[in-house]
Structure 1
Amino acid sequence: METVREMKIFLIDTLSADASFVLQYAHQNEILTKREYSSLHHPHHTQENIIINFLDKVMNKGDKTCCTFLQLLQNKELQQTFPQLQELFRSSESNPQHQEFFNPRPPAPTEISEYKMTSVPRGVCVIINNVTFCPDFGDRKGSDEDEASLKEVFTWLGFSVEVYKNQTAGQMKAVLNDLGQRHHHGDCFVCCILSHGSEAGVNGTDGDIVLIGDIYHPFKATSCQTLINKPKVFFIQACRGKKTQKFVQVQADNLEAKELEEEANFEPDALRFICIPDDGDFFVAQSTVKGFYSLRNPCSGSLFIQSLCKQLKLHCPRCEDIQSILRCVNEEVSRELRKVTIGSKMVTTSQMPIQNVTLRKKLVLSVPT
């Protein structure tokens, strides 16, 4: 795609001599659909406008289509029609560097590069920890343990940690918008939200809802240009509904059976996230699947955040990527059975974290040396 973009002015000047011929070839080689061909081949468009719109459509289709188009430009019949192409590709044959430029190969599917992670500090890690709520909501005892664990781990990983405590919905929005407007010099952005939640979003301490779009929108590419192409990581500890997870008993493979903890002091963090933004480079880890409770111990913190911090400490020194680490979190949390009191009823339940990912590379949170 970059090759086509860099050649765009040359291609417009060259191919505008016979736009219909170009569209015909593109249609025959399945670069354009019949509908796209008809739309572009409009009698009221100038030759130049047709080629401009055509090139934009090719680039919008991605690298594979761009590669096919560049190979098509080397067709002898096309080069006879447009002699400038012949001169261009003749020069590329005598220069290996140019040849690579005009014959780009998409990267092999197995070759996944890593995000750069060398800045000092690595970036900002924001923790929004809501503990004390209005009378209609119960306080979130144990959340300070989660805050302390997250602060310890991300400081160790080289992040500049900022903590915002007991934020109303309006204050949460203001914090997120302010973060989105900052000039981010680091290689990564992390946001941890610890609060009550519902199917509509995350609760502020006043009980009002922060909608999903209000959480992510400040960090989209169109809103925060200094985070473009950088990983944006969200860890959210909150309920996503009022269901409890059912479970089945299975025989352990060479593992001692773990007795169900008898203490009935786990509490639900009573979110249905529709999706993460369409923009790339987002990693969103949620404590539970939609529609279900997320559990928190008033003394030791939440199952999800405590497991997350434990697995980060264990696997980051081994340079394992974030998705691999969260699979370990999924495994650990999903195996835990807890008794929880909901209303006047005590039930035994489990929990299943979930991740939504649009990362384009491996994200390795390496430990600074």
Structure 2
Amino acid sequence: MAEKELFNVRRKFVEEATEALIKQLLDDLFGDGVLNKGQRNCVLEENSTTEDKARSLIDMVMSKGDAASRKMIAHLQSRDPSLYSNLGLSSGQPAQPGPTTLTSHDIRRKKQNDRDIYPVSKDSMSSRVSLLITNIKFTDETSNRNGAEKDEANMEKQLKALGYEVVKHTNLTGKAIDDALNEFSKHPKLKETDSVLVVIMSHGKRDTVLGVDCKKKISDNERPDEFPIDNIYKHLNAANCPALLNKPKIIIIQACRGEGEGSALVRDGANAAVVSDDADEGNIEDDAIVNKEKDFISLLACTPDTVAYRHHVEGSYLIRFVGEVFTAYAQKDDIEELFRKVMQRFEDFPSRFKRQMPTKDRCTLTKRFYFFQPSEAGFTSV
């Protein structure tokens, strides 16, 4: 698909596209009706560098789907054959549809009626709510997270684009983070929403997020300023937050999980076999019993005991890649596929000598969840 082709060459296009080429492509796509005047001006006027203009253009086109992506590829072939060839793109011409090809409307309707997909309605979408917690400034100023201001702004923008009201907190202690989760679990919109998103960004350890009063060294009688990640699941599980029963709870955590590097020199080796035993619980029959923890999915910035990286100006790589993938694919892919695409972005990590790999954790989704938008799901806007 053309959209996937653009996504695969996105980084190289951003690095190599010239200002003149970007303006030509904008004019071509404006003439095709792919972009309107406001969108064309947005790319040129709201981005200061050529790379930012290229990034904005390709993300905007990908968000409009396969047909728009095909047109951009075709114009790129005409305007800059050398770059087109270097990117390894194909002609951009649509394949001839077979007799059983479904239209995009058919696919959306099929998703809406699929029992393997979490239900979404116009009313539930209007009640969406999210929690965004970002620690930027710390009591120990040497721990300040430079660039996290951009993470906060980008994540808030992304959440709103997905239709979520944003409950935002900045610079909290570990206890204050816990209090914010507890308060959020009682939010009046949770009863009507179809899902929630919780995003926490700070320093961290393997199983905790650090509060703003954290210290690099503490005495034996001091308690560390930490928030246990496990408390997220406790506050939002069926026992403590029945309003979210059977609704997806999506967690994104940008924080280190240790001090180790995420890279290693690979050598040949063999792994021992792993054996697991099955336990027979017999026949269980209970009334009014629900799974205490269900319908969660989490994306953590890195694997256990390793660090997560953040650019001191542009912000963390996880949040940047989440924004890029969600902008391009949130209209068509379910949350697990979106997370997989984010993880895939890290295979092309900017540094030759560093590595980072996000981790999907505690996934108890029993269905697929899509961020349906009103125009996608067949709903009328209000």
Sort the TM-score into its range (normalised by shorter chain): 0.5 to 0.7
For the Cα contact (< 8 Å) 1:129–1:166, is it kept in 2?
A: yes
Residue of structure 2 in register with 1:194 after alignment: 201
Residue of structure 1 in register with 2:368 after alignment: 362
1:120 Cα offset (Å): 3.4
For 1:233-248, list aligned pairs within 5 A.
233-246=250-263
The letter of the residue matching 1:152 is: K
Residue of structure 2 in register with 1:171 after alignment: 176
Residue of structure 1 in register with 2:227 after alignment: 210
Residue among 309, 315, 318 paired with 2:329 = 315
Residue among 268, 273, 289 paired with 2:303 = 289
For 1:87-102, list aligned pairs within 5 A.
none
278 and 305 in structure 1: CA distance in 2 versus 1, 3 angstrom threshold: farther
332 and 323 in structure 1: CA distance in 2 versus 1, 3 angstrom threshold: same
For the Cα contact (< 8 Å) 1:156–1:367, is it kept in 2?
A: no
1:305 Cα offset (Å): 0.8
Residue of structure 1 in register with 2:347 after alignment: 334
Q: Secondary structure at the match of 1:193?
A: strand
Q: Secondary structure at the match of 1:327?
A: helix
Residue among 277, 299, 306 paired with 2:320 = 306
For 1:263-274, list aligned pairs within 5 A.
none
Q: Secondary structure at the match of 1:320?
A: coil
Which deviates further from its counterpart, 198-207 or 129-138?
129-138
CA RMSD in angstroms comes to 1.9
Unpaired runs of 5+ residues, structure 1, are 1-110, 250-276, 340-347
For 1:65-104, list aligned pairs within 5 A.
none
CA distance in 2, matches of 1:248, 1:363: 38
TM-score scaled to structure 1, two decimals?
A: 0.58
For 1:104-183, list aligned pairs within 5 A.
113-118=116-121, 119-135=124-140, 138-183=143-188
For the Cα contact (< 8 Å) 2:302–2:359, is it kept in 1?
A: yes
CA distance in 1, matches of 2:318, 2:230: 23
For 1:340-355, list aligned pairs within 5 A.
348-355=353-360
Aligned residues: 223
For the Cα contact (< 8 Å) 2:239–2:292, is it kept in 1?
A: no
CA distance in 1, matches of 2:213, 2:242: 32
Residue among 227, 243, 248 paired with 1:226 = 243
Q: Provide Cα deviations, 1:247-288, integer angstroms capped at 9, x if missing partner.
A: 579xxxxxxxxxxxxxxxxxxxxxxxxxxx961100111010
CA distance in 2, matches of 1:352, 1:303: 10
368 and 154 in structure 1: CA distance in 2 versus 1, 3 angstrom threshold: farther
CA distance in 2, matches of 1:246, 1:213: 27
1:212 Cα offset (Å): 2.3
Return the index of the structure with the highest Cα Rg: 1
Q: Secondary structure at the match of 1:366?
A: coil
1:304 Cα offset (Å): 0.6
Unpaired runs of 5+ residues, structure 2, are 1-113, 215-224, 267-290, 376-382
The letter of the residue matching 1:173 is: D
367 and 352 in structure 1: CA distance in 2 versus 1, 3 angstrom threshold: same
